[in-house]
Amino acid sequence: MNKIFDNYYFILFSIIPISIIIGPAISLINIILIIVPFLFFLIYKKKFSFLTNPTVKLLLILYIYLLFNSFISVDPGLGLKRNLGFIRYIILFLAFNYFFYHIKNFQKIFLIWTIILLIVCFDVFYESIFGHNILGFGGYYYGNRITSFFKDEPVVGGFINCFFLVIIAYILNLIKIKPSLNLKYLFFTVFIILFVAIMLTGERSNTIKAFLGFLLFFLLIDTLSIKQKLLFLIVIFLTIVATVQNSDFLKKRFINQMIYFIPWETELHIDKNPLSRTNLYFDLYSSGYSVFKNNPIFGVGNKNYRVATCGPSPSATLENYVCGTHPAQIYFEIMSEHGVVGSLIFFSIFFISILKIYKNFRLKKNYIQLGSLIYVLVTFFPLLPGGSFFSDFNSNLFWLNFSIMFALSDKNIFNREGEIVKL
C-alpha cells in the first residue's frame, strides 16, 4: 500500500510542469489530487505536529489575513474565491515537505522536470525559427512573441525561469556528489539552452530576472573554480550579444522598446502607440501608488484594483488611475490591494522565510535549495514588472519554489531530527 501511495504522489509531482502548461484548470486538478488525499493521510495518521512549526504558523496567519481582507474589500465577492482558495498552496507546501523528506527516490522528479523543460526549450527554438511551435501554435497576438505550448499566452519565459535555477542546481549537486568533467559540460550546456530559450521568448522582465538570479547563484556556489566561473561568464556574455544581434525581434524587444514598455498583461483603455506616451509601466506604478494613497490602511482588497481603476465607482475616474487588472509590479499590487497592514504581514512573512533559508543554505550548501531561494528572492526585486502575484499561473510558479526551498533542508517542517534531506 505504501508503494502505491508513494508512486501515486511521485507521478503527480512529476507532471506539475505539464499541468501548468496545459492550463489553470488542469494544474488546479493536479494540486487537488495532491492535497486532498494528503489531508486525509495526515488525519488518518494523526500527524499534526507540523502546526507548531513557525513557518506554518506564519502561513496560517497570512491565510487568516486574506480571509479578513475579503470582507473589507471594495467588492467583497470578487476576491473571496481567490482568498479562500489560497489554502491549497499551504497544503501543497506541506505535501512538498513531507514527500521530499520521506521518499528516497523523490529526487528523480528533478530529472523528469529537466527532460520536460528541455522539450519546452526545443519548442521555443523551433518556434523562433519557423514562426510556430511543433504543434502549430504561434505568438501572433503579441507581436510575434514566442508562446510555445501556451498557445496564445506569452508566458513561456516565466515558466522556464521558474525551473531554471532548480534544474541547473540539480546538475551542480550531482557534480558535488561525483565530480566529473562531463557533468560540468552538461551543466554549462543545459544552462545555455535554458537561458537562451528565456531570451528568445522576448520576455524582458523574466530575462532580467533570470540573469540577476544566475549572477547571484554564481556568486554563492563553490563547486566551480574561479577560472571556470570567469570562462563561463565570458561565454554567457558572448551568447547574449550574439543572440540579440542575430534577431531583429530581440533587438526591438531588448533595445528599441526598453524605453517604451507596452505591458500586455493589462487591459488598458489608452492609445497603445509606444511613441504616444512615456514609459507606460511607470504610469501603471503611479496608478498603483495612487490607489494605495487613497486606501492606505487595508487597500481596496485582493483582486479589487480593477474595480478601483476601471469603475463603475467614481474613484475610477481619478486622474492618476490607469484602468487595468493590476499595476504590473508586485510591490504596487500588494500596497494598492492590501494597504500598510497587509503589506507588512505579506512581506514580513516572506522576508523572514528567505532569511531563514539563506542561513540554512550557508551551513548545508544544498544548491537546489539555493536555486529555489533565489527565484523567490528575485520575485521581490524592485521595479521589474510582472503579472499579478495571486494569479493561478504566477502563484503556481512561486509556491513551487517556496515549497522546494524548505523541503530540501533541515528546515523541512516534518524533520524532527535536524538532518538535511540528501539529494
User: Chain centroid to CA 316: how far?
Assistant: 30
Read off the DSSP letter of residue 106: G
Angle CA 84–89–92, to nearest 5: 135
| Cα–Cα distances in angstroms (integers) from residue 54 to residues 49, 60, 296, 403, in the given order | 11, 10, 29, 15
Residue 264's Cβ-count burial label (10 Å; 0-12, 13-18, 19+) is middle
Assigned C-alpha cell, 262 = 507596452
Q: Which residues contact 418 (CB under 8 A, 6 or more apart)?
A: 410
The runs of H, that is alpha helices, within 272-381 are 280-294, 305-310, 330-364, 367-379
Residue 407 · residue 100 · CB < 8 Å: yes
Comparing C-alpha atoms, which of 219, 207, 91, 127 is closest to residue 160? 207
Q: Which residues of the chain have pLDDT under 50?
A: 259-278, 417-423
Read off the DSSP letter of residue 419: P
Residue 30 · residue 16 · CB < 8 Å: yes
Residue 255 · residue 202 · CB < 8 Å: no
Three-state DSSP at 141 gives coil
Write down the number of H helices and E strands in the chain. 17, 0
pTM of the model: 0.90
Per-residue pLDDT at 417: 44
Q: What is the largest CA-CA distance in the chain?
A: 65
Per-residue pLDDT at 294: 92
What's the CA gap between 317 and 308, in Å, rounded? 9
What's the CA gap between 267 and 141, in Å, rounded? 14
Per-residue pLDDT at 265: 41
Identity of the residue numbered 25: A
Per-residue pLDDT at 312: 67
What's the CA gap between 62 and 65, in Å, rounded? 5
What's the CA gap between 80 and 66, in Å, rounded? 9
Identity of the residue numbered 21: I
Residue 250 · residue 199 · CB < 8 Å: yes
DSSP string, 149-186: GGTT---HHHHHHHHHHHHHHHHHHHHHHS--HHHHHH
Rg (CA), the chain: 22
Encode pLDDT of 7-41 as tens digits: 999 999 999 999 999 999 999 999 999 999 999 99
Assigned C-alpha cell, 419 = 538532518
Comparing C-alpha atoms, which of 381, 372, 355 is closest to residue 408? 372
